[in-house]
């Protein structure tokens, strides 16, 4: 099979997905991004509340990542800073207008894809209007993705997650999974982004029906209060719990950045995800440790007024390296 | 010369221009719409005030008229009915976001043209931020296009119009006029739409430098309190006063619709523009009277909640007929 025809499905939503997609699109013309639909904060949350539309934020960013037209791409990420539209990303308004006009979020995604000259496809994992609910052992209930960000989970506990009301898989997302050669679960917030995609009813069945190799790309750092002390195998275990399927591969970083950088992250309570090699070797999946951290990474200065921010180094995936490792796994 | 290469420039803004453009685009691939830039009411006015952008409303509608992609066209005209964007046409937000992002209205028009797959070109007649000012003999001063709509001009008086601050012609609009084979001054509000386009500094000179045939397509009905009693020659005289050039042709309607319809218009103070043939024959321009009224016309039900409105007949130009007459004039 010609490598550019490899059918790759990326499941996620959030920055980890966006950067990975923007590189993976160079390796196949058959790329599908499946995006969680639980965003209810910021511009997206306001539009959900005011207009009753589905959450467009993560879909927009995946579309932008796959776009081949720089000007329209920048436009979709442009945020109004004044007036009644203040704080809204233009692309969110684009999607909202189309959904209101046509009554169909799927059609909105399709038109946005055309306008952005998207290479590949973006599919909402569900077209049902649903919210993320997290329950802890002590009876705490957290409603809405935007509330989950600040949730503290007691050490040693694993939270219970649900979508309410129950959400069913978008048939086109289902078909993409079934037809895929490679299904990638992208790095991203475990409880805020990945679980809400995997928990959609029908995803487990589609994953189990699919002949695709299933690969999880593990996060680089922990989220404070949510994944403290999680090692690579813990992340993978949670992914298997939510997806109801067994992973074939786990791809993780095994390069330690400078002490300086690690120290800076520690001040925010974020720690490098440790690779527990002995444990990983006993697993049913193949764990592949590589140097996946970008040598230098810059934050997006667009949203920042801090002139130093542009030069600050960060612990980020080298997305092209990850993409190439994924292709290697596919061909292995 | 191949007829589809005829270089046609249409000067105006407003419904008369939009409908004419949507038909003229079928007769040439070299069509340029030059649009007045004085709109300061409604969605456009709010965006001018809140974001400091140039008025996009009329430009948007010309772009839509020349668009070849129905879905994106509908999207550009979609108006939000809730939330912070309430009342805004999506296309206006599109133009505003692009202008804010790039700092250039011209670039916003260009990107919108691409997205809408526009056949032809739309050029703002000026890129200066200006407003329409109308002065009457009694000292009355009216500021802003949105205030001119309700202005009553005493019978027999001709108002003085200005743009403040002074606006200079967009160089690309200037070049389009100079290169044109045919310059059409579209039907539209004499004082609200046409004069503010013609009064832009540099338009007169460009018109006089151009070898194009200059044609004015006269309005069908008078605007109450502004053109009461104006006949075709009066409209043409005003166009020559504002443009500072001599017309080669005046195209006017000489078909009288049903008494019923005329009566209905009379109730709103609107009257069919009478064709004063004897007077017109003495003019330096060639006046051409034709049946230009559409047999049946429907109002756009989009903006109307009146179920009868959709079936109400109106006195409207048959835009395709007008387009064909313009081509005939070009070839005569």
Same-domain pairing of B96 and B180: no
Position A3 scores a pLDDT of: 59
pLDDT, average across residues B152-168: 96
Decide which of B124, B158, B187 is a domain's last residue: B124
Q: To the nearest whole angstrom, how far is the Cα of A153 from the nearest Cα of chain B?
A: 35
Beta partners for residue B215, in sequence order: B184, B249
Q: Which pLDDT does position B5 carry in this prediction?
A: 87
> Is B160 among the domain residues?
no
Question: Is residue A157 situated within a structural domain?
Answer: no
Angle between the N-to-C axes of helices B70-77 and A90-102, in degrees from 0 to 180, rounded to the nearest 10: 110
Hey, what long-range contacts does B309-314 have (CB within 8 A, 24 or more apart)? B313/B261, B314/B261
Distances (CA, A) of B157 to A97, A284, B39, B195, B270: 46, 92, 24, 16, 18
Q: Does residue B309 lie in a domain region? A: yes
Give the nearest chain B residue to A76 (CA atoms): B97
On the question of pLDDT at B67 being above 90, the answer is: yes
Q: How far is B40 from chain A (nearest CA, A)?
A: 16
**Same domain assignment for residues B185 and B285:** yes
Mutation site for B-interface testing, chosen from A64, A71, A74, A94 by largest number of B Cβ within 10 Å: A71
Q: Please tell me whether residues A218 and A314 are part of one structural domain.
A: yes
Chain A residues close to B117, C-beta within 8 Å:
none
What is the pLDDT at residue A107?
A: 95
Interface test with B, best of A69, A80, A86 (most B CBs within 10 A): A80
Q: Cite the beta strand spans of chain A per DSSP E.
A: 8-12, 31-35, 121-124, 131-135, 141-143, 160-164, 182-185, 213-217, 249-253, 286-290
Which residue among A78, A86, A97 sits closest to B80, beta carbon to beta carbon? A97
pLDDT for A300: 52
Is B147 part of a structural domain of the chain?
Answer: no
Pair (B190, B297) in one structural domain: yes
Q: What is the pLDDT of residue B295?
A: 78
CA atoms within 13 A on the CB side of B1: 12
Strand A31-35 and strand A8-12: the pairing is parallel
Give domain status of residue B148, yes or no. no
The span from the CA of B295 to the CA of B258, in Å, is: 10
* B325 & B195 share domain: yes
To which residue do tokens 């609107």 refer? B270
Please state at what angle helix B57-66 crosses helix B42-51, rounded to 10 degrees. Answer: 120
Q: Chain B residues within 8 A (CB-CB) of chain A?
A: 46-47, 50-51, 71-72, 74-75, 78, 80-86, 88, 90, 93-94, 96-98, 100-101, 111, 115
10 Å CB burial of residue B104 (0-12, 13-18, 19+) is: middle
Helix (H) or strand (E) holding B251: strand B249-253
State the pLDDT at residue A295: 78
User: Are A22 and A62 in a shared domain?
Assistant: no
First-to-last alpha carbon distance for chain A, in angstroms, is: 13
Chain B residues closer than 8 Å to A83 by CB: 46-47, 50-51, 84
Same domain, B315 and B217: yes
CATH classification at residue B300: 3.40.50.10680
The answer to whether the beta carbons of residues B88 and B47 sit under 8 Å apart is yes
pLDDT tens-digit map of B202-245: 999 999 999 999 999 999 999 999 999 999 999 999 999 999 99
Domains of chain B: total:
2
**pLDDT per residue as tens digits for the range B242-279:** 999 999 999 999 999 999 999 999 999 999 999 999 99
Residue A139 belongs to a domain: no
What is residue A305's predicted lDDT score, i.e. its pLDDT?
46
pTM of the full structure: 0.89
Strand order in B249-253's β-sheet?
B121-124, B31-35, B8-12, B182-185, B213-217, B249-253, B286-290
Give the best residue of A43, A85, A111 to mutate against chain B (max B CB count within 10 A): A85
CA angle B285, B287, B292 (to 5 degrees): 145
Is the pLDDT at B3 greater than 80, yes or no?
Answer: no
B32: pLDDT strictly greater than 80 = yes
Put simply, the answer to whether B82 touches A111 (Cβ < 8 Å) is no
Instruction: Write the pLDDT tens digit of every residue in B278-330.
Output: 999 999 999 999 999 997 655 554 444 444 444 457 899 999 999 999 999 99
State the nearest Cα–Cα gap between A320 and chain B, in angstroms.
29
Distance CA A47, CA A94 (A): 11
Report the alpha-carbon distance of residue B25 to residue B119 in Å, rounded: 7
Contacts of A86 in chain B (CB under 8 A): 84
Q: How many CA atoms lie within 13 A of B56 on its CB side?
A: 36
At residue B46 the predicted structure's pLDDT band, cuts being 50, 70 and 90, is: very high
CB A152 within 8 A of CB A225: yes
Pick from A75, A88, A93: which is nearest to B98 by CB?
A75
Question: How does strand A141-143 pair with strand A121-124?
Answer: unpaired
Give bridge partners of residue B267 from the DSSP assignment. Answer: none
Closest chain B CA to residue A80: B97
| Paired residues of A182 in beta bridges | A8, A213
Going by the DSSP 8-state scheme, the letter that residue A311 receives in this structure is G
**Is B103 inside any structural domain?**
yes
Same domain, B88 and B194: no
Verify that B25 and B172 share a domain, yes or no: yes
Instruction: Select from A60, A54, A7 the least CA-distant residue to A30.
Output: A7
- Among residues A66, A28, A83, the alpha carbon closest in space to that of B43 is found at A83
Whether residue B199 is contained in a domain is answered as yes
The parts of chain A modelled with pLDDT lower than 70 are 1-3, 296-312
Min Cα distance B181 → chain A (Å) is 34
Interface contact flag, B100 A115, Cβ < 8 Å: no
A89 and A103 belong to one structural domain? yes
Give me A224's structure tokens: 């404070």
Greatest extent of chain B over all pairs of C-alpha atoms, in Å: 58
Chain A residue numbers touching B50 (CB-CB < 8 A): 82-84
Which single residue is written with the structure tokens 């001063």? B141
Spatial distance between the Cα atoms of B191 and A174, rounded to a whole number of angstroms: 59
Distances (CA, A) of B282 to B231, B237, B279: 14, 13, 6
- Domain C-terminal end among A96, A124, A152: A124
Task: Single out the residue in B66, B93, B124 at which a domain terminates.
Answer: B124
Domain that holds residue A56: 38-124
In this structure, are residues A292 and A252 in contact, taking their beta carbons and an 8 Å threshold? yes
Q: Which residues make Cβ contacts (< 8 Å) with residue A249, sequence separation at least 6?
A: A213, A214, A215, A216, A285, A286, A287, A288, A329
DSSP category for residue B5: G
Nearest to B101 among A78, A86, A101 (CB): A78
How many other CB atoms are found less than 10 A from the CB of residue B303?
A: 9
Q: Which of A23, A298, A61 is nearest to A184 (CA)?
A: A23
B305 and B174 housed in the same domain: yes
Q: Which of B332, B330, B320, B249 is nearest to B291 (CA)?
A: B320
Residue A31: partners with Cβ closer than 8 Å, 6 or more residues away = A8, A10, A21, A24, A25, A66, A119, A120, A121
Helix (H) or strand (E) holding B92: helix B90-102
Picking from A74, A93, A111, the nearest residue to B93 by CB comes out as: A93
Token pair 């997206």 is found at A44
What H or E segment, with its residue span, contains residue B288? strand B286-290
Nearest one of A77, A57, A90 to B93, comparing CA atoms: A90
Residues A174 and A110 in one domain: no
């Amino acid at each position: 099979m010609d490598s550019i025809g490899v059918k790759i499905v990326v499941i996620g939503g959030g920055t980890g997905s966006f950067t990975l997609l923007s590189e993976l699109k160079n390796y196949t013309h058959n790329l599908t991004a499946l995006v969680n639909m639980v965003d209810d904060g910021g511009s997206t949350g306001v539009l959900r509340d005011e207009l009753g539309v589905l959450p467009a934020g993560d879909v927009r960013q995946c579309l932008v990542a796959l776009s081949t037209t720089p000007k329209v791409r920048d436009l979709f990420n442009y945020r109004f800073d004044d007036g009644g539209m203040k704080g809204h990303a233009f692309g969110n308004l684009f999607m909202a207008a189309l959904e209101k006009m046509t009554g169909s979020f799927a059609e909105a995604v399709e038109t946005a894809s055309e306008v952005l000259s998207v290479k590949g496809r973006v599919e909402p994992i569900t077209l049902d209007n649903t919210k993320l609910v997290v329950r802890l052992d002590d009876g705490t209930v957290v409603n809405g993705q935007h509330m989950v960000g600040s949730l503290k989970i007691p050490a040693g506990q694993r939270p219970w997650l649900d979508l309410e009301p129950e959400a069913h898989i978008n048939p086109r997302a289902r078909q993409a999974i079934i037809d895929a050669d490679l299904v990638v679960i992208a790095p991203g917030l475990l409880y805020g982004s990945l679980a809400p995609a995997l928990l959609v009813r029908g995803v487990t069945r589609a994953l189990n029906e699919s002949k695709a190799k299933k690969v999880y790309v593990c996060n680089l750092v922990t989220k404070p209060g949510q994944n403290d002390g999680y090692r690579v195998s813990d992340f993978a275990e949670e992914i298997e719990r939510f997806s109801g399927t067994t992973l074939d591969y786990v791809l993780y970083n095994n390069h330690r950045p400078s002490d300086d950088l690690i120290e800076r992250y520690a001040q925010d309570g974020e720690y490098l995800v440790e690779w527990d090699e002995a444990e990983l070797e006993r697993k049913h999946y193949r764990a592949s440790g590589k140097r996946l951290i970008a040598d230098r990474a810059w934050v997006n200065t667009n949203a920042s007024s801090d002139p130093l921010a542009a030069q600050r180094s960060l612990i980020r995936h080298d997305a092209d390296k990850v993409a190439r490792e994924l292709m290697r796994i596919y061909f292995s």
